[in-house]
Structure 1
Amino acid sequence: MACTPVFSSLRRRKSPLVGTFFAPVDLSDPALVQALASVAGDLVASSRAPVPSQRRNSRSLVRKVEMFLALFEFLREGRPSPLPPPATLCFKELYILLYRSRILLDYCAQSSRIWLLLQNAQISGHFHDLTQEISTLLDVLPLGDLALSPDVREQVELLQRQARRSKLHVDPRDEALRLRIYAFLDEFGKGRAPDPPVLREAFADGLGIRDAGACRAEVEFLEEQVYNQEEEVDLSVLNGVVALTRYARFSLFGFAGDEGDGERSGHHRRRYSRGGSSCSAIGEAGSLAVPKDFCCPISLDLMRDPVIVSTGQTYDRGCILRWVDDGHSTCPNSGQPLAHTRLVPNRALRSLISQWCAAHGVPYDPPEPSDAGAEGVVSGAISRAAVEANRATARLLVEQLAWAPEGAKAMAARELRLLAKNGKENRVCIADAGAIPPLRRLLSSPDPVAQENSVTAILNLSIHDKNKSRIMEEPGCLSSIVEVLTRGWTVEARENAAATLFSLSAVHEYKKTISNEEGAVEALAGLLRDGSPRGKKDAVTALFNLSTHVECWDRMVQSGAVSALVGSLVVDGVAEEAAGALALLVRQPAAAEAMGRDEKAVGGLVGLMRRGGPRG
């Protein structure tokens, strides 16, 4: 079927109906009528299942399509003569209207209940728009030229009158329920959890969400909208609703009845590099190419706090400060003299980086802004609601983690890992709720899933600097992490243990403690030799961090780390970090001697210089 594009022009932007739609062309009249009957019949057949919201608007639209279907079936069975040209044009436009009606009904059927509730007025407007366009089309359809039977003509004229009289309908029950959701957010914003019976009535009776699995599906759908950011919706409100729904899941339905595997640790893994998320490590993790403009020209890492220098170039704040502190007075990228050392925050770029990271599950923990603007004040109440709801959820999960049976503990660890995936506030409230001690105990679990979730939860918590001290000060936590690195049940658990050591070693005073922990450096060296590409990356970045502390050098020589680093000089993806670590270690005579005895050292370095790399 040949088609010609027709561009929709609804007055509401970012509608599920916005896009390019195609009308059939080069069809005979019988084929056009057959196509219309097929589209209308499919729409009616697919609308048998009830939609979670917009019931009245959906039923009304389907009844209109049923009337059209009667018209098409009459024309298909009893009109062999050609259609009048005006009727043909109207039917082509009607084909598009039917197609858009199907899209809107599918959107309502496939969206989450809460999402439809938040979009209640807008979606009601889309139904009204379609009805108005149907009315306009019927006004110009030449009924008198179609030789319709009295019954069919009466139906079409009835449809015409109904479409003319149609008014925008916003279901008052849905609207009342939407306002109740906002009231729950307001309660959390004031530091109070909603009354459980009232919350249950809204979720179970009002929304039809009656078990943990349905609640989880709602959370996943809403989080997808946050990541996509394709709809016109206040993200602070949406984040608050996600937090509220997550809280409702555990406070109302507990931890039973949800057997989903959840997100595995290998998905959206926390990747790191020197002071930030390594662009190459992210690429290793999932074939994910980081936009070049998001990487600092100095470190080639994802920028955490992009700032603009006097030449107009953008760098990560920590990198350019170190550059200036080393005595340089020129721009690293352009070589131009720096007129001054004042750094201007590149807020636009930081926002783009944050959105990209959220969309791809990459951790991003930007520093707190020093000058909160009016926009932050406006959305503060709902943001506080999200924080308080997540805080209440964290308390429920930590309680489960501490006292529940082993299977429920694994589920609680998984949920804490997911909750800690994004947001400094979440990482703070989880640690404040006392999650680190029970997570540490779960590291020695015989259940591979529980161990993997617990070490990944600790990894995610360690992204926040203040949590690093809590992890290091927890008795036995460091040795348990090393134990997972050495003998973890799964590859993911061992790799995430290595990434945790790297994260913790970002604090200078912890580097010696980590290197002195029995088996830590040996396990990192072993992972660098024999691990997967991701494991090698985790191991080499951790070893590089340790090599920046002179009191770690002896331990690294004794543990065989020098040999592992030399062997990595020929491994793509880790060669540069290995060379950087060796460049520091060679200042220690024993390390220099070990490198001199290794016949691979000179060849590896020469090969690296010949190949070159992103850092030159």
Structure 2
Amino acid sequence: MKVATPTHKAKERNGGPRLSRWTIVSFRKSAKPDKPKADRPRHREAVPDEFLCPVSGSLMADPVIVPSGHSFERASVEACKSLGFVPPALAGDVAAPDFSALIPNHALKSTILSFCRSRSLPPPKPLDSASAHKLVADLMSTQTHRTQMKLARDTVGERRDSVREEREMRGAKAESSRSHHQDPPTANHSYSSSNDSVATTVAFDSTSPLQLAARPSCCCSSSCSSSEFEPLNPAEEGLLAKLKSPLVFDVEEAVIGLRDETRTSEESRVTLCTARLLSSLRPLVVSKYCAIQVNSVASLVNLSLAAVNKVKILRSGIVPNLVDVLKGGFPEAAEHAAGALFSLALDDGNKTAIGALGALPPLLHALRAGNERAQGDAASALYHLSLVQSNRVKLVRLGSVPVLLGMVRSGRLAGRALLVLVNLGSCADGRAAMMDAGAVECLVGFLRRAAGSARDNCVTALYVLSQGGLRFKGLARAAGAAEALEEAEGGSWRAREMARRMVEMMGERREEVEAEDVDWEKLLEAGTPSR
């Protein structure tokens, strides 16, 4: 575009008026015009670090708080939990982060949305599960590569330091030998630096450049104790390396090897049950891969067979994962989970904690709807857990009495169901629930056809119910309990003694009632007033 502009200089022509001279000025549009700083578009302001997910590095759309207090995107945490990855934000705080409880951070979410609205930014979108798993897998592979590179650099550095120390030692020895052979002290200064370097080079080149024999004596002080350098268990180190591998094949191979190693060897169960291994095994218990989940839970069953490991496994925080597997894991893994809980419940110090961690409802469900193996382990676990008063109350409130009585009527695992009923009948709530559900009639009917230990357990359950007072006596008389107890012969001495006491108790009550009836009839006949 061309525009005519007047010039500052003017001339007079023939005495006429002053005329302005016009100059043509051309304005061309440049590729990058210079604009004032005030007119330049402002760049997006920096996003606060607390708004960004430490794993994905993007704005959080669904922030959650983990037990350590950090906030993450929900999909990122779930991916870390599934793959057993420790985020860099937690690497220095805890050795094994706990992702079992995720609390929605509504305050942070609303703050992020307000930030986006005030800056005219689109609200963040939640991260999908597939992208989160891929992102965490890439982080794991990157971290593994960095670790390998660091180890390689450290190894090269150590070798370089060793060569330098070896060279200095040999140079010092050569200098010392020359000083001993020279008579005057000033002879030491007659050697030039080139001669020294030649002597040192020849002495160094005469041996291998990577000799490390003299390194421990040079770098280890006398204050270092041998206990600080004790070698770790090679088997454990190999398993840990594979358990933390980002490759599914390596993890599967590790859990299968752990299961085989601890199947029969008591020594392996004790030596391999370490805090580091349990921490690596905990996320694999709820793995989405069937083989990894099944073999991980089976390995825990083998490890729990050692008495010294039971409390250690419970304190590792792995019981909630076993409960999750029992609720919705693969069928074979759920069977092993019931067995693991049964094994852990054998320790008296674990019973209350297992009940508090939510194991009772899924065990009761497995008892009702599981296969034969899961039902057997669930019944055994419930028996040992019901030895604690707090668990007895919980089982009664969960409606376990009708389920157990149904098993007694059908004869399926009746002996174990009777053992649990005996424990429940030792508390007032349990006795009331059992009598409300028709336990007296059910037990008397089972007693007529039972034999062996099942009959003894049935007598024990009736004896526990007899502590309920007059209500039991009335129900027992209506069901014919006295005749069934008298007909039941054999059994242990304890069962026979309990049966005898119950028969005597019910017989005395019946005689008292008959005597009272006769007396009242006589009194009515003799003293009825006429109207």
Higher RCO (CA-CA < 8 Å; seq separation 6+): 1
**Larger radius of gyration, structure 1 or 2?**
2
> TM-score, normalised on structure 2?
0.43
